[in-house]
Amino acid sequence: MKDILEKLSERRAKARLGGGEARIVAQHRRGKLTARERIELLLDEGSFEEFDTFVEHRCDDFGMEKTKVPGDGVVTGWGTINGRVVFVFAKDFTVFGGSLSETHARKITKIQDMALKAQAPIIGLFDAGGARIQEGVAALAGYGDVFHLNVAASGVIPQISVILGPCAGGDVYSPAMTDFIFMVRDTSYMFVTGPDVVKTVTNETVTAEELGGASVHTVRSSVADGAYDNDVECLLDIRRFMDFLPSNNVTGVPEWPSFDDPDRAEPSLDTLVPDNANKPYDVKELILKTVDEGDFFEIQAGFAKNIVIGFGRIEGRTVGIVANQPMVLAGVLDSDASRKAARFVRFCDCFEIPIVTFVDVPGFLPGTAQEYGGLIKHGAKLLFAYSQATVPKVTVITRKAFGGAYDVMASKHVGADVNYAWPTAQIAVMGAKGAVEIIFRQDIGDPELIAARTKEYEDRFLSPFVAAERGYIDEVIMPRSTRRRLARALALLRDKAVPPPRRKHDNIPL
């Protein structure tokens, strides 16, 4: 009996070494942790339970029958993060570069199935070379199965991808179908085909970093949602991130103890908006002063900075925040900002996360670059997403809400539940200068008359009261009371229920 137990321990110890000591050293030398070290950091201490430790590949081609490694390049199982169940798979780059074989894929799909049954999130840690080349179509079939389950799980359980090394082929397409992607600077790359293939096909010479590093995907392509300096920082922040997310689309947001009084007044907000309407202010100050303990998890901080999205809490419960950022392009809505916010709104709606929207938007960005880039379609995505979302939606207009952007940014008309405005709000088709130049074009030659017309327009329209008189704004509130107002509105809406319409699915302008 003792022998048998020892054999199990030996086999486990061998499996834990993955591709062996030398490759583990190489992994560390590249500034990366191993798959198991990563899992240990991500999960609560001692909570990881591994499955399929002894699974091996079944390939006989190219001498592969002689190189079998228990686990076959992926570590799978489940554990907890601050006591809440999550499923995990971590690619082991020390085994065939973490590439995916038929059996490696089965390990992942088993975890995907289990996560769906257990209604718990799934986190993939990626560091891998795509399909196992020696396995051909068997590996491609394996990816197909993973992709199919990614889609089945979409909107049912949160799916998070963390990119911690080079990732190519199928190892970028599976993350691309999950809800959030996080990367590590200088050690992680995502590309469909690597620099060598790029050189052969297009004759372009690029480094892996230039082609698909974190700086590309968090700033230019928006494929990734955040970046960190190393594996440790990244994995610890993913723990913090998971605390914001519901486990699935049914149980609702988690509730954590909060020591921040929901009635806390914030007098400094009374002077946040400058007297000069053309002067910017930082909307992040408003967000940080409103959410519990100033704890805000920003998503896509480096992309389309004219809109800010992320998660915070009010009374211990998660809210999704969308806010125009007057500091960047005056907070205008362009294609990038629209699609960034649209996807976020849809995530919140999938998982029953209430949405708080702070509005200060001068409109949609004009110009050929935007129109040729499909501003109409991208703007429609945000309009569609807000209109469709049935979660509680509470909106605060702090300053400008001009034109179509007023409608889009969670106005009453697209289904927001409670709409507040600060006394500094200006709700109109456009700003005074543009408006006067159009409707009083005949007076343009008379500066005095134009000044009088501008004043008349400003007095009448550049305030929240025309909208408030019509009931489009539920109340004009003191800025200092924003947190209290939001907390009360969200409590009021906690049991909001909207029956889904009868249809297979909508046709969002993708």
Name the site residues for ligand HXC (rule: CB under 6 A).
96-97, 99, 129-133, 140, 143, 166, 168-170, 173, 194
State which residue, 112 or 370, has the beta carbon closest to ligand HXC: 112
Whether the CA torsion 31, 172, 50, 156 is positive or negative: it is: positive
State which residue, 129 or 363, has the beta carbon closest to ligand HXC: 129
As beta bridge partners, residue 393 has 355
Is residue 102 within 8 Å of 61, Cβ to Cβ? no
CB 383, min distance to ligand HXC, A = 31
CB 94, min distance to ligand HXC, A = 8
Alpha carbons 156 and 115: distance in angstroms, whole number: 10
Measure CA of the first residue to CA of the last residue in the chain; give whole Å: 61
Residue among 149, 175, 172, 189 nearest 30 (CA): 189
Residue 328, amino acid: V
Residue among 248, 285, 226, 277 nearest 122 (CA): 248
CB 475, min distance to ligand HXC, A = 51
CB 68, min distance to ligand HXC, A = 14
CB 89, min distance to ligand HXC, A = 16
Catalytic annotation present for 170 = yes
Query: Which pair of tokens denotes residue 374?
Result: 């499909």
Catalytic annotation present for 20 = no
Residue among 87, 86, 88, 91 nearest 71 (CA): 91
State which residue, 142 or 464, has the beta carbon closest to ligand HXC: 142
Beta-strand ranges (E) seen in 244-352 are 297-299, 307-314, 317-324
Spot the catalytic one: 73, 129, 130, 170: 170
Alpha carbons 403 and 346: distance in angstroms, whole number: 23
| Distances from the Cα of 248 to the Cα of 38, 84, 123, 155, 158, angstroms | 24, 12, 13, 8, 6
Catalytic annotation present for 130 = no
Spot the catalytic one: 316, 404, 415, 434: 404
CB 35, min distance to ligand HXC, A = 14
Catalytic annotation present for 302 = no
Cβ-proximal residue to ligand HXC, closest one: 169
State which residue, 170 or 246, has the beta carbon closest to ligand HXC: 170
State which residue, 166 or 326, has the beta carbon closest to ligand HXC: 166
State which residue, 170 or 326, has the beta carbon closest to ligand HXC: 170
> What residues are labeled active site?
169-170, 404-405
